[in-house]
Amino acid sequence: MTAVIHWFRRDLRLHDNSALNAALESGLPVVPVFIFDPAIYRGERASASRTAFLLAGLRHLQSELARRGSGLVIRHGEPVTVLRALMEQSAATALYFNADYSPYARSRDRRVAEALGVERVRSEHDLLMHPPGMVMTGEGKPLTVFTPFKRRWLELPKVLPRTAIGRFHDLGGVAQGVLPEARELGPVSLLALPAAGEAAAMARLERFAQTSLGEYKERRDLVFAQPWLEQAESTSALSPYLRLGMLSIRQAYEMAMAIGQQAEAGAQVRASVETWISELVWREFYNHILYHFPHVLTRSFRSEYDALEWRHAPEEFAAWAAGMTGYPIVDAAMRQLVQTGWMHNRARMIVASFLTKDLLLDWRLGELHFMRHLIDGDPAANNGGWQWTAGTGTDAQPYFRIFNPVSQSRKCDPDGRYIRHFVPELRDVPEQYLHAPWEMPIPPRGYPRPMIDHALARERTLAAFQAVRS
């Protein structure tokens, strides 16, 4: 009796899974496998929070597989070694997986294919609507500016979600292995994780589509409006699910289009759907950028910005990371990151601007800190976002575009709900002072004074960038 293996990586779902579909359609029983690769979950960019969310997702996958009469094979170790042994034990004739485009994943998958024989390995596109190489200029070059990329992306024919019928292996002769406990993989300090798994992901998508997508364009910058605070959300909060493939990009796209095309959808709803789809395109854009320009992981996209003289100030970085800068909106967001493993996208821009433009500290420090805490931490999107804010990236914001933490706070957290929740020292500060408590006649005790004057910091950063440009 022969079989095929489906190797789950960041595609933890049974519905609309390209490689799993192909494996099921081979007609042979499918052996589902997940491998804990120490290079990932013990690496310096690992996050115990993200691993905890992964574990919860694997538990859900196990129960979904159990309903289909199968288990999930769990292994620990270097994938080449593990897979070689598993192919033999399960008498598998082929290995299926979905392509992953980060430099580490590509080199790992190349080694796997060489070790097992390329003819036995089937890699499918799944993570993105349009894989790298599919969105190019007329001359066949990568598009490095977002708007032309988006225009081309929108023109391409879209793929719809599809779930195959087939059967899983009963795993009779294969040892399944057990999931590790979260604490074995590192200290987890999160207050709570979002519900994991594809059912939870689909429930979140449906809720967002029904209640918030139609007002997305107008409300997306409201940082207090998020499920973590039990508020009607302004953004979808789907990033953790997309990160681990508990939801596919095709499912998200199809749902949004369905809302935009409803007969009763007005101009506001259609504009909101378009704006939200743009966010999905940003995710694709940065995955393509990382694929075509892998040097962005360690250096500026534009080499001229490698000459920037970032300051060295470990104690200032520590204050930022701990949420003790003295700017309430920055501190609320940084504390949310550590406590929940997630941060509103607008808040990410505010704190990233503060680190790179106010403190003039290297974006790589912030990028690593984010990777160590975000449950949605994705190398491509995280890197793209940081380089965008730092002004060193492909389609970066101009160097002179510097966020004012006070005006951003007034705009994105108008009544201070977000600040009061995450910075309890300021809970009793009146609304008029909440965004700039140092202006109070008697500033609140137990909360730091601003670690830097924004106006001075702005001038310093403009000068530093001018120096590099000339």
Partner DNA sequence: TGAAATGTTGGGGCG
Partner DNA sequence: ACGCCCCAACATTTC
- CA atoms of 281 and 276, how far apart (whole Å): 9
CB atoms within 10 A of CB 115: 14
Q: Is 368 in the site for DNA (CB under 7 A)?
A: no
Q: Which of 7, 97, 282, 327 binds DNA (CB under 7 A)?
A: 282
- Which is nearer to DNA, 278 or 339 (by Cβ)? 278
Q: Is 50 in the site for DNA (CB under 7 A)?
A: no
8 A C-beta contact, residue 296 and residue 392: no
Q: Is 287 in the site for DNA (CB under 7 A)?
A: no
Q: Has 386 been annotated as catalytic?
A: yes
Q: Is 454 in the site for DNA (CB under 7 A)?
A: yes
8 A C-beta contact, residue 343 and residue 337: yes
Amino acid at site 126: D
Give the CA count within 13 Å in the CB-facing half-sphere of 49.
24
Binding mask of the shown chain, residues 382 to 401, with x at each position contacting DNA by CB under 7 A: ---------------xx-xx
- Which is nearer to DNA, 183 or 469 (by Cβ)? 469
Q: Has 363 been annotated as catalytic?
A: yes
DSSP 58-87: HHHHHHHHHHTT---EEEES-HHHHHHHHH
310 token code pair:
């970032």
Angstrom distances, CA of residue 168 to CA of 15, 26, 143, 165, 309: 14, 11, 41, 10, 56
Binding mask of the shown chain, residues 129 to 158, with x at each position contacting DNA by CB under 7 A: -----------------x------------
CB atoms within 10 A of CB 167: 13
Q: Is 89 in the site for DNA (CB under 7 A)?
A: no
- Which is nearer to DNA, 194 or 385 (by Cβ)? 385
Q: Which of 402, 419, 423, 436 binds DNA (CB under 7 A)?
A: 402
Q: Is 470 in the site for DNA (CB under 7 A)?
A: no
Give me the residue label for tokens 């590790």.
Answer: 180
Q: Has 218 been annotated as catalytic?
A: no
- Minimum distance, C-beta of residue 436 to DNA, in the bound complex (Å): 12
Q: Has 282 been annotated as catalytic?
A: yes
Angle at alpha carbon of residue 399, lines to 396 and 404, rounded to 5°: 105
- CA atoms of 408 and 352, how far apart (whole Å): 13
Q: Has 276 been annotated as catalytic?
A: no
- CA atoms of 390 and 213, how far apart (whole Å): 29
8 A C-beta contact, residue 463 and residue 357: no
Q: Is 311 in the site for DNA (CB under 7 A)?
A: no
Q: Is 432 in the site for DNA (CB under 7 A)?
A: no
**Considering 78, 254, 274, 279, which one is annotated as catalytic?**
279
Q: Is 84 in the site for DNA (CB under 7 A)?
A: no
Restricted to residues 325-364, the positions that interact with DNA (CB under 7 A) are 345-346, 349
Q: Has 279 been annotated as catalytic?
A: yes
What does the binding site for DNA look like in residue numbers (CB under 7 A)?
146, 278-279, 282, 345-346, 349, 397-398, 400-404, 407-408, 411, 454-455, 458, 462, 466
Q: Which residues are catalytic?
A: 279, 282, 310, 345, 363, 386
